[in-house]
Chain A
Amino acid sequence: MLYREAGQFKTSYTADQQLFPIRQDRIGVLVLLAIAFLGVPLFASDYWFSAILIPFLIFSLAALGLNILTGYAGQLSLGSAAFMAVGAYAAYNFQLRIEGIPILVSFACGGLCAALVGVLFGLPSLRIKGFYLAVATLAAQFFIVWCLTKFPWLSNNSSSGVISTQQLIILGHELKTPLEKYLLVLAIVVVLALAAKNLVRSATGRAWMAVRDMDVAASVIGIKLLPTKLLAFAISSFYCGVAGALYAFCYLGSVEPDGFSLDMSFKILFMIIIGGVGSIMGSFLGAAFILLLPIFLDVALPFLAGLFGLPFSSATVSHIQILLFGALIMFFLIVEPHGLARLWQIGKEKLRLWPFPH
């Protein structure tokens, strides 16, 4: 960056181990939070809140969850959407069946249910790894969506499992406008993101990274594989579950099991590949990229087609979108396997020396 850490001496361990050790970083984060909480509400319209900002935050949270599992603990999962579904349906059922339960508590309970299911499907991870595990998590994806469709109790006997979420009431105040929902989602995401940032530099986080880099070696140096891997599954699924609950309650308002499809799992996986595997910030960058690209293409492609006088249907646009997604994934894996987060880091290092790099 344009600033250095020069002159900031740490005189205690607490000071040395802060989340953001450099003062300018701390100020930067605070400014960012201030913009998100105070600045954005002043300028953004309802469309922005409900179509871009809220899904962005929710998918960032889901990507963060997958990043904990895949990026830090090294266990590839293709079932993140299913865990989101568990969170959404569990939160709905807690609201429905327990009289007067606060909405935030049922979100947390939804996350815990997802964590439980995650642990269940994470159990095979001790025996199998790599592709075998990735395929095994597909079992979670198909099985959970099927269960939600077929067991009427889970969706309160609605046809084909569609649920309409209850009102969002916090401390007697009902959240109705997109702005209020945005603030709620933002607050939850900020808290969970800070928790994740803390978690991955703790002993647990280091154990995950050791397992990721080589699990046999990790177990040789005394890391217990089963609890470490299962904890990664649990926490990752908790994040996905909360994201799913927010997706249902704050974004769509009414969801069906088939909405949490394999495609959505892939989308979340793409977010962390493009954003940066093993990076908290990368989850946010990736989510922004994957969500904004289709919007950008929807606008840009017809414009380009008009420029060259080609006939363009909406089907063509969606095919080009899929094609570009695929191409971008391959491009990022080849050129920058650590994604946008790494690009940001390189930029920062370059700027440290700028304008005199030698």
Chain B
Amino acid sequence: MNFFFEVLIGGLLSGVMYALVALGFVMIYKASGVFNFAQGAMVYLAALAVVGCMEMGAPLWLAVILAFAIMTLFGIATEKFVLRKLVNQPPIALFMATIGLAFFIEGLAPLLFGSQPRALDLGIVDEPIAWVLDNWNMVISKFDLVAAAVASLLVATLALFFQYTRVGRALRAVADDHQAALSIGIPLQHIWAIVWGVAGFVALVAGMMWGARNGVQFALTFTALKALPVLILGGFTSVPGAIVGGLIIGASEKLAEIYIPPVLQDLFGGSFGGIEGWFPYVLALLFLLVRPEGLFGEKHIDRV
């Protein structure tokens, strides 16, 4: 039972990391209805920018600020040169454009900052907490706990930002109805630029956490693929959905990785590792059959 809880908690904590990436998707989808496939590439770009600036001699805090500036500029440029030109196109066209954007970033980022894998040291050690290990005999990483704390802090900040600031209110209005928002004088294009800036910030936080954990390398772009089932499960439009979805996906994939392969092995023989790769997707797919709009998503009504 102890082992079960250890896996469960490890899964929940890694789920927080997925939720961190998923948040970026939700931000942009809520405000502009664009499903931004490039979020994973943005995570990569942000992490590379931090590491790249540090290599040029900047201290960590300065590198983070510089990376944030780069991400904001990049977000604004994306909005101006790509998305604004695609207004009124079907959502699927926008989605495909963000796939193009993802490739663009994946080519651009290593050109700017170099492609060799590098370590990012945030000063947090990735080792089990001794106290938990002694008392409950469970391995729980300190790093994961910090990541969870950062994610909760980020969510709280975003929630406050959305709820209590003028810009946040405008963002919610735009998310509700573009035209109504325009008609009461909310500048749509500024709002979109801000949203992309915020998404860049979320990508930066996610990139630093993931980069510190796994090293800054091309594989960071795959974090987006981890975040997609989280989104489906939680619903594209809900910040709490991203968190809850992340936790469910994280926990269930780790449990599946431990408990399903032995069953398969008994049935077919051979080894069946790597279930993590597809399990979240199949889980999300099955879930969609029951609830097509996700856990917290808005119900979609079609009119002819």
Measured CB to CB, the residues of A under 8 A from B are 74, 76, 124, 127-128, 130-132, 134-136, 138-139, 142-143, 146, 149-152, 214-217, 220, 262, 266, 269-270, 273, 315-316, 319-330, 333-334, 337
Let me know if B44 is at the binding interface, CB within 8 A.
Answer: no
> Do A321 and B86 form a contact, CB below 8 Å, given A150-B270, A151-B268, A330-B97?
no
What per-residue 1/0 map shows which CB atoms of B245-278 lie under 8 Å from chain A? 0000000000000000000000010111011011
Q: Which residues of B contact A130 (CB under 8 A)?
A: 91-92, 95
Residue B296 at the chain A interface, CB threshold 8 Å: no
Across the interface, name the chain A residue whose C-beta is closest to B302. Answer: A216
A-B contact pairs, 29 of them (CB 8 A): A74-B92, A76-B95, A124-B285, A128-B288, A131-B35, A131-B236, A132-B292, A134-B92, A135-B231, A135-B232, A138-B228, A143-B282, A146-B274, A146-B278, A149-B274, A150-B274, A214-B304, A216-B304, A269-B96, A273-B96, A322-B104, A322-B106, A323-B103, A330-B82, A330-B97, A333-B100, A334-B82, A334-B97, A337-B93
Contact stretch, chosen from B108-116, B173-181, B203-211: B108-116
> Size band of the B side of the interface?
35 or more
B residues less than 8 Å from A273 (CB atoms):
96
Contact yes or no, A326 B89, CB < 8 A: no
Chain B contacts of A146 at CB under 8 A?
Answer: 274-275, 277-278
Known: A131-B236, A143-B278, A151-B268. A326 touches B100 (CB 8 A): yes
Question: Quick check: B103 and A329 within 8 Å, CB to CB?
Answer: yes
Q: Are B86 and A333 in contact (CB under 8 A)?
A: yes
Selected from A74, A152, A214, A328, the residue in CB contact (under 8 A) with B270 is A152
Answer whether residue B289 sits at the interface, using C-beta atoms and an 8 A cutoff: yes
Residues of A within 8 A of B75 (CB): none
How long is the Cα–Cα vector from A127 to B85 in the complex, in angstroms?
A: 31
Query: Would you call A139 and B282 a contact (CB within 8 A)?
Result: yes
**Cβ of B236: which chain A residues have Cβ within 8 Å of it?**
131
Chain A residue contacts of B60, Cβ below 8 A: none
Rounded to whole angstroms, the CA-CA distance of A312 and B270 in the bound complex is 46
- Within 275-304 of B, Cβ neighbours of A (below 8 Å) are at 275, 277-278, 281-282, 284-285, 288-289, 292, 302-304
Distance in angstroms from A337 CB to nearest chain B CB is: 6
Considering only CB atoms, which chain B residue lies closest to A318 in the complex?
A: B107
Q: Report Cα–Cα, A132/B101, bound state, in Å.
A: 20
Query: In this assembly, does B43 line the interface, its C-beta being within 8 Å of a C-beta of chain A?
Result: no
Knowing A130-B92, A320-B107, A334-B86 touch, does A329 contact B289 (C-beta < 8 A)? no
Find chain B residues with CB under 8 A from A139 CB.
278, 281-282, 284-285
A132-B289 Cα distance, complex, nearest whole Å: 11
Report the minimal beta-carbon distance from B19 to chain A, rounded to whole angstroms: 16
Contact, CB under 8 Å: B111 / A319: yes
Cross-chain contact of A323 among B96, B107, B275, B304 (Cβ < 8 A) = B107
Q: What are the residues of chain B within 8 A of A74 when measuring CB–CB?
A: 92
B64 at the interface (CB under 8 A from A): no
Is B216 positioned at the interface, with any CB of A under 8 Å from its CB? no
* B73 close to chain A: CB less than 8 A: no
**Closest A residue by C-beta to B231:** A135
Specify which of B102, B108, B288 is in contact with A124 (CB 8 Å cutoff). B288
Nearest 5 CB-CB pairings of A with B = A323-B107, A329-B100, A326-B104, A326-B103, A322-B107
Tell whether, in the assembled complex, residue A135 and residue B85 are in contact, meaning their CB atoms are under 8 Å apart. no
Q: Are A333 and B115 in contact (CB under 8 A)?
A: no
Give A269 to B98 CA distance when docked, in angstroms. 13
Tell me whether A150 and B271 are in contact (CB under 8 A). yes
- Residues of chain B within 8 A (CB-CB) of A321 are 107
In the complex the two chains form, is B89's CB within 8 Å of A330's CB?
no
CA gap between A47 and B30 in the complex, in Å: 51
Given the complex, which residues of B lie within 8 Å of A143, measured CB to CB? 278, 281-282
State in angstroms the CA–CA spacing of A324 and B100 once bound together: 9
Q: Which of A214, A269, A270, A326 has the most CB of B within 10 A?
A: A326
Closest beta carbon of chain A to B102's beta carbon, Å = 7
Beyond known contacts A127-B292, A146-B277: 20 more, CB 8 A cutoff: A128-B288, A131-B91, A131-B92, A135-B229, A136-B232, A139-B282, A142-B281, A143-B278, A217-B304, A269-B99, A320-B107, A320-B111, A321-B107, A326-B101, A329-B96, A330-B104, A333-B89, A333-B96, A333-B100, A337-B93
